[in-house]
Amino acid sequence: MNYIGEHLFPGQLGHFLVVLSFIASLIATIAYYKSAQAVIPDDAARWKKLGRMAFAVDFASILIVFAIIFYLIWNHYFEYYYVYNHSDISLEPKYLLSSIWEGQEGSFLLWAVWHGVLGMILMRTAKKWEAPVMTVISFAQLVLATMVLGLYVFDLKVGSSPFLFTRDQFADAPIFQRADYLSLSSMQDGRGLNQLLQNYWMVIHPPILFLGFASTIVPFAYATAGLWKKDFGGWTKDALPWSLFSAAILGLGIMMGAKWAYESLTFGGYWAWDPVENASLVPWLIMIAGLHTQLVYNSTGHSLRPTYFFFILSFILILYSSYLTKSGDLQDTSVHAFTGSGMNWQLRLFVAAFALPSLFLFIKRYKQIPTIAKEESTYSREFWMFIGSLVLLLSGMYIITATSLPVLNKIFGTNWVIGEDREFAYNRILIFVAIVLGLLTAFTQFLKYKNTAKKEFLKKILPATVIAAAIAAAISIWGGINYDKYGMGFLFSIHLAIFAGVYAVIANADYIRVGLKGKLKAAGASVAHIGFGMMLVGMLISSSKTEVLSRNFLNPLDFGPEAKEKGVENMTLYQGVKMDMGKYWVTYVRDSTTAKNKMYYFMVEFESKDGKEKFTLKPDLIKNTKGQEQYSNNPDAKHYLTRDVFSYISAADKLAEGPDTAQFKSHIAKVGDTIFYSTGLMRFDSVTVNPNNDKHKFTSNDTAVMANFTLITRDQRKLRANPVFYLEDGQPRYAIDTVFSQSMAIALSPSEKQGYFNIGVKESSKLVPFVGLKVLQFPFINLVWLGTVIMVIGTGMAVVWRARRLK
């Protein structure tokens, strides 16, 4: 059938380019391999030339494929399934980019684009290492290209193409029987971008994170090349700027993800030890370990073997993390893992294709890798750097083992799972890691490589030690850190870790003065360590002092002895009613909505009781995309320098579906009686005949009767309610009175029984606009972000410094 209105050309071109990139990367791999193996220099040069050309073709193809996908999304060509499935017309332009990396195909392409960029730089800079290093990278490009091929080899699906047509995805849907299906209303719009990804961090975080992922291949490729060419120690200086770069960018990418989670998810924080978060953290920890042993080797000749091990492991863990998040194995343990895509065999093969050869080479050549028989001195920098790397390795292994439980279960047929408190299972171990790493970060730079005079070392580090101890003591005494939920041991560890963090900051700042004589150019490491120390302090304080401001003791009165622990974190606010929330008065002022009810904004005013602070938060709800009916949360926070007030909507009358089904419950009562309702009681005080007040203007000619009730609520407030019954043109009428804060409607009608009335009471959540609100306070969370920025800047300084020294 000839379909009308389809744009076939971009897809055909895209398909062609994907295949081209596959072939080009295959040629590049072979050519670079030949070049690396060639004995005659001319041969090597010829093969290298071919390798370069092929790699450049591969890079250009992927870049254009990427551009084509963007073009398709930009123009809303919904005949393409990728466009249909990941975007819609109402999407803001900046989120059109996010649509690319929402799908797996796009994320693989992004990864390949970065490999391409790094490869092009390596061509210019790697010199004699170019051929073996680029063999590894070209091979990675080959494997990535298979991920987006979308071909069937016999019955086996190889990769998933981003240029699949919607009509092919749903081949038997009836609308595709029509040649003009594109003109049908259901094809006029796509299914949209996941609402949680419609956040500016999601525009920038994935490219940075994937650059981080991609960059780990460079130290890996150098290490593999060293083993392969048996030039075991020749690459470590050349590769140093790359491992520094990888550490900086991967770290930045991870923390940007943390910032996104903080701003758009509602678990209350930025890090939840979710498997998807862990899977990217662990390769970073290992990269940091490798970076430090690499520095040790460059200066002393020690620790070359561990350097190999760390760089190989770091990259394998990157591949493994890609497997973990995309295979669907984490579904039951992670909030944001993909479900399986039917490509698991391919993802496993990806890991194996790099893990097996590199580990095989490493084991086979292990004995040949030079070591120094003489031991490091205890007063040497390298000894403690090695210890630090070992601690990083141990902590990384701990995290990845715990994260991999679902995979281990699959392999061993067990059904283990981390118990109730996942976060503490990690925090309990990582707090010690923080203490050790903080201390090592503080004092190690004061030691010289090889050996240090003890007296001199002690003299130099003394001022920083004293100052740090004083500051940490001040924080411990006046900081109010009393997180005793897990006992005194853990609380003590927190205090100790805060000292370690402060010590790392102060000592490294002082080292710039004492050790480097203020020479800032060379101070990259110290600056990065200052940032790391700040992050530690920020994490410890913001987490241990997180406070639920919306503590609600009014509602759950019948919880019994455990009332304190159970169900107190949300408060219900009625529109226009000022509520007491700890040190604030809080009012839900109004709500507004955007077109097609895509978003509901709720304006909530905060006013501190001392009158000094006043601000408005606008947490909102975003309508789910992809054909789902519910809404998702989008929190809002007030950022102060020293704390954040963070809030999100946990419930709202706007979310309730369907009509009001609550019924009036009838009570027969006389004046003086008491009627109970679900959260309080109402006293029938008196009756007024023909009331004449603000609300009702009856005269003696009318027939009207008003009941006067006093409501006593659970929190002992007294409220009034005055329903009226009257006759109009001989017909009975009811003026129902609504008590918003009790979400109650009260009606009055005569009873057959002399002196009694019929009192109708309806309790419904739909009478008055309300929101359930959760408000949290994070003190000093800015230290986490500032520390991250400083760490990245410091590492960037080190990249520049080391790269310059190579020339």
Partner 1 sequence: MGRLLNFTPGVGFFGLILPPELFHIMKKTHVVILVAIAAGIMILLSFMGDLSTYETLASARQKEGKTVTVITQLDKSVPVPIEYDAVKNPNLTKFHVVDSLGNKAQVMYYFEKPMDMEKSDRIVLKGKMKGDVFEISRKDGILIKCPSKYKDDPKAAYNNLTTKS
Phi and psi based region of residue 780 (left: phi greater than 0; alpha: psi -120 to 50; beta: remaining): left
Give the separation between CA 252 and CA 287, rounded to whole angstroms: 14
**CB 775 within 8 Å of CB 647:** yes
Among 341, 476, 749, 758, interactor with partner 1 by CB under 8 A: 341
Question: Is residue 117 at the binding interface for partner 1, with CB under 8 A as the rule?
Answer: no
Residues numbered 717 to 746 that lie near partner 1 (CB under 8 A) are: 743
* Residue 326: CB minimum distance to partner 1, A: 9
Collapsing DSSP to helix, strand or coil, 474 comes out as: helix
Question: Is residue 175 at the binding interface for partner 1, with CB under 8 A as the rule?
Answer: yes
* Residue 636: CB minimum distance to partner 1, A: 16
Among 127, 374, 612, 718, interactor with partner 1 by CB under 8 A: 374
Closest CA to 473 of 450, 441, 498: 498
Give the separation between CA 688 and CA 306, rounded to whole angstroms: 90
Question: Is residue 613 at the binding interface for partner 1, with CB under 8 A as the rule?
Answer: no
For the chain, the C-alpha Rg in angstroms (whole number) is 33
| Cβ-based nearer residue to partner 1, 182 or 239 | 182
* Residue 155: CB minimum distance to partner 1, A: 19
- 476 class by beta-carbon count within 10 Å (0-12 exposed, 13-18 middle, 19+ buried): middle
Q: Which stretch binds partner 1 (CB under 8 A): 144-152, 344-352, 375-383, 715-723?
A: 375-383
- 333 class by beta-carbon count within 10 Å (0-12 exposed, 13-18 middle, 19+ buried): middle
* Residue 375: CB minimum distance to partner 1, A: 4
* Residue 273: CB minimum distance to partner 1, A: 10
| Cβ-based nearer residue to partner 1, 171 or 477 | 171
3-state SS, one letter per residue, for 749-772:
EECCCCCCEEEEEEECCCCCCEEE
Give the separation between CA 452 and CA 300, rounded to whole angstroms: 14
* Residue 501: CB minimum distance to partner 1, A: 21
Centre a 10 Å sphere on the Cβ of residue 448 and count the other Cβ atoms it contains.
17
Q: Which stretch binds partner 1 (CB under 8 A): 111-119, 308-316, 331-339, 349-357?
A: 331-339
Among 629, 694, 729, 752, interactor with partner 1 by CB under 8 A: 629
| Cβ-based nearer residue to partner 1, 417 or 689 | 417
Binding flags for partner 1, 756-785, as an x/- string (CB under 8 A): ---------x----xxx-x-----------
Question: Is residue 336 at the binding interface for partner 1, with CB under 8 A as the rule?
Answer: yes
| Cβ-based nearer residue to partner 1, 166 or 314 | 166
Among 13, 53, 204, 335, interactor with partner 1 by CB under 8 A: 335
* Residue 297: CB minimum distance to partner 1, A: 15
* Residue 745: CB minimum distance to partner 1, A: 13
Q: Which long-range contacts (CB under 8 A, 24 or more apart) does 49-53 make?
A: 51/27, 51/131, 51/134, 51/135, 51/138, 52/123
Q: Which stretch binds partner 1 (CB under 8 A): 91-99, 182-190, 236-244, 703-711?
A: 182-190
Give the separation between CA 701 and CA 693, rounded to whole angstroms: 16
Question: Is residue 633 at the binding interface for partner 1, with CB under 8 A as the rule?
Answer: yes
Closest CA to 678 of 553, 558, 550, 552: 558
Q: Which stretch binds partner 1 (CB under 8 A): 308-316, 337-345, 444-452, 635-643?
A: 337-345
Residues numbered 186 to 245 that lie near partner 1 (CB under 8 A) are: 186-187, 191, 194
Residue 738 pairs with which residues in a beta bridge? 745
| Cβ-based nearer residue to partner 1, 33 or 101 | 101
**CB 634 within 8 Å of CB 201:** no
Residues numbered 548 to 587 that lie near partner 1 (CB under 8 A) are: 552, 555-556, 565-572
Residues numbered 141 to 170 that lie near partner 1 (CB under 8 A) are: 166, 169-170
- In angstroms, the first-to-last Cα distance of the chain is 62
| Cβ-based nearer residue to partner 1, 378 or 693 | 378
* Residue 681: CB minimum distance to partner 1, A: 16
Q: What is the DSSP string of 526-578?
A: HHHHHHHHHHHHHHHHHHHT-EES----SS-GGGGGGTTTSS-S-EEEEBT-E
Can you point out the beta strands (E) in 357-412?
A: none
Closest CA to 406 of 354, 329, 297, 477: 329
Give the separation between CA 83 and CA 100, rounded to whole angstroms: 9
* Residue 680: CB minimum distance to partner 1, A: 11
Closest CA to 405 of 394, 415, 397, 395: 415
Binding flags for partner 1, 400-439, as an x/- string (CB under 8 A): -xx--x--------xxxxxxxxxx-x--xx----------
Residues numbered 78 to 97 that lie near partner 1 (CB under 8 A) are: 84-86
Give the separation between CA 325 and CA 283, rounded to whole angstroms: 14
Among 12, 628, 686, 693, interactor with partner 1 by CB under 8 A: 628
Question: Is residue 546 at the binding interface for partner 1, with CB under 8 A as the rule?
Answer: no
Strands 151-153 and 156-158: antiparallel
Question: Is residue 385 at the binding interface for partner 1, with CB under 8 A as the rule?
Answer: no
* Residue 67: CB minimum distance to partner 1, A: 23
Report the b/e string of 639-651 with b at 16+ CB within 10 A: eeeebbbbbbbbe
Closest CA to 499 of 478, 468, 526: 468
Residues numbered 262 to 281 that lie near partner 1 (CB under 8 A) are: 267-268, 272
* Residue 555: CB minimum distance to partner 1, A: 5
| Cβ-based nearer residue to partner 1, 339 or 700 | 339
Residue 732 pairs with which residues in a beta bridge? 727
Among 174, 560, 659, 730, interactor with partner 1 by CB under 8 A: 174
Residues numbered 648 to 677 that lie near partner 1 (CB under 8 A) are: 650-652, 655
Give the separation between CA 414 and CA 399, rounded to whole angstroms: 19
Question: Is residue 483 at the binding interface for partner 1, with CB under 8 A as the rule?
Answer: no
* Residue 169: CB minimum distance to partner 1, A: 7
Size of the site for partner 1 (CB under 8 A): 90
Q: Which two tokens mark 112?
A: 């390949």
Question: Is residue 539 at the binding interface for partner 1, with CB under 8 A as the rule?
Answer: no
Residues numbered 22 to 61 that lie near partner 1 (CB under 8 A) are: none
Strands 731-735 and 665-669: unpaired
* Residue 104: CB minimum distance to partner 1, A: 8
Give the separation between CA 303 and CA 318, rounded to whole angstroms: 23
CA distances 364 to 50, 219, 258, 764, Å, are 31, 19, 40, 74
Q: Which stretch binds partner 1 (CB under 8 A): 456-464, 492-500, 624-632, 703-711?
A: 624-632
* Residue 185: CB minimum distance to partner 1, A: 6
* Residue 462: CB minimum distance to partner 1, A: 17
* Residue 382: CB minimum distance to partner 1, A: 12
Residues 6+ apart with CB under 8 A from 42: none
